[in-house]
Structure 1
Amino acid sequence: MENFKLFGNSKSAEKFIDDTKSSNRFLFSFVTSYTETCEIPGITLAGTNSDLIKFTPAADAEYLHYGYCKTIEKIPMTPDGKPTPALLTKVALESSSIPHLTINAGSKVVPQLPVIETQLPTGKNISVNDALTDSQVSRAVDFGRIVGRSLSSLTDCLIIGESIPGGTTTALAVLRALGFDANVSSSMPNNPTALKNQIVNNALERITSEHPYHIISKVGDPMIPFVSGMLSSASSVSDVMLAGGTQMLAVLAFASKIGFDEKSTVIGTTSYVTDDKNANFTNMVKQIADVPAISVDPGLKNSKYSGLRSFSEGFVKEGVGAGGSIISSMLKTGNNQLKFLEMVEKEYSRLFTAEN
Structure 2
Amino acid sequence: MKKIYDIILAYEESKCEDFIKRIEGKKPLFIHVIGTTETAKIPGISAAGKYPELTDYTPAADAELLLLGSCKCIPGVPTTPEGIPTPALITMSALRLADVPTLIVSGGVKIRPHIPFIDLGGKSGGDIRSGKAVADAEEILVRARIAGENLSKLADYLVIGESVPGGTTTALAVMLAMGVDARGKVSSSMPYNPHELKIRVVEEGLRNSGIKFGSLSNDPITAISCVGDPMMPAFAGLVLGAARRSPVLMAGGTQMCAILAIVKALDQTILQNIAIGTTRWLISDRSADLKGIVSQIADVPIMAADLDFARSKFNGLRVYEEGFVKEGVGAGGASIAAMAKSRGLISKAVLLEEIERNYERLVMLRRS
Q: Is the 8 A contact 1:8 1:285 kept in 2?
A: no
Q: TM-score when scaled to structure 1?
A: 0.96
Match among 297, 305, 313 for residue 288 of structure 1: 297
Q: Which residue of 1 aligns with 2:365?
A: 354
Deviations along 1:42-100, one digit per CA (max 9) or x if unpaired, are 11111111232110000011111112111111210247541100000000000000110
User: Which moves more between the two structures, 143-152 or 87-96?
Assistant: 143-152
- Say if 1:337 and 1:88 are closer, same or farther in 2 by CA, change over 3 A: same
The question of 1:18 aligning with 2:21 is answered yes
Partner of 2:142: 142
The residue that corresponds to 2:186 in the other structure is 184
Cross-structure match for 1:7: 10
TM-superposed CA distance for 1:352, in Å, is 2.2
CA drift of 1:117 comes to 1.0
Aligned-residue sequence identity (percent) comes to 43
Could you say if the C-alpha distance between residues 79 and 46 of structure 1 is closer, same or farther in structure 2, counting changes exceeding 3 Å?
closer
Structure 1 equivalent of residue 96 of structure 2: 94
Match of 2:255 in 1: 247
Q: Report the CA distance between 1:301 and its aligned residue.
A: 2.1
**2:323 alignment partner in structure 1:** 314
Q: 1:166-221, CA deviations, whole angstroms, 9 ceiling, x for partnerless residues?
A: 00100011111111111100011011111101001111112345232222211111
Aligned residue among 44, 47, 50 for 1:48: 50
Secondary structure of the structure 1 residue equivalent to 2:263: helix
User: Deviation at 1:285?
Assistant: 1.5
Task: List gaps (5 residues or longer) in structure 1.
Answer: none
**How far apart in 2 are the matches of 1:187 and 1:79?**
11
| Between 84-93 and 49-58, the greater mean CA deviation after superposition | 49-58
Count residues with an aligned counterpart.
Answer: 353
| C-alpha distance in structure 2 between counterparts of 1:119 and 1:137, whole Å | 10
Residue of structure 1 equivalent to 2:79: 77
Contact 1:132 1:218 in 2 (8 A): yes
Give a deviation string over 1:261-311, Cα, whole Å, max 9, x none.
Answer: 111111000011111111110121222112101011211122121110122
| 1:330 counterpart letter in structure 2 | M
The equivalent residue for 1:229 is 237
Instruction: Say yes or no: does 1:167 pair with 2:167.
Output: yes
Distance 1:114 1:178 in 2: 35
Give the Cα separation in 1 of the matches to 2:22 and 2:220: 33
Unaligned runs of 5+ in 2: none
Contact 1:207–1:214 at 8 Å: present in 2 too?
Answer: no
Tell me the amino acid that sits aligned with residue 149 of structure 1. Answer: E
Question: Quick one: which amino acid aligns to residue 266 of structure 2?
Answer: I
Opposite residue 226 of structure 1, the aligned amino acid is: A
Distance 1:214 1:315 in 2: 33
Partners of 2:30 and 2:233 in 1: how far apart? 19
Q: 284, 287, 300: which is aligned to 1:278? A: 287
Residue identity in the other structure for 1:145 = R
Separation in 1, partners of 2:236, 2:82: 36
Report SS of the residue matched to 1:255. helix
Q: Is the 8 A contact 1:204 1:219 kept in 2?
A: yes
Check whether the contact 1:12–1:263 (CA below 8 A) recurs between aligned residues: no
Q: Give the match's secondary structure for 2:145.
A: helix
Is the CA contact (8 Å cut-off) linking 2:91 and 2:334 kept in structure 1? Answer: yes
RMSD value, Cα: 1.4
1:214-272 alpha-carbon deviations (Å, 9 max, x no partner):
22211111111221111112101111010001111110011111115111111000011
What is the DSSP-based 3-state SS (H/G/I as helix, E as strand, rest coil) of the residue aligned with 1:127? Answer: helix
Aligned to 1:262: 271
Contact map agreement 1:8 1:286 (CA 8 A) in 2: no
Q: 1:218 & 1:79 partners in 2: Cα distance?
A: 29
Instruction: Write the deviation string for residues 141-166 of structure 1: whole angstroms up to 9, x where unpaired.
Output: 10110111111111111010110000
Separation in 2, partners of 1:152, 1:128 = 36
User: Per-residue CA shift, 1:102-145, capped at 9, x if unaligned?
Assistant: 11110111100111111101111002341124xx1211210110
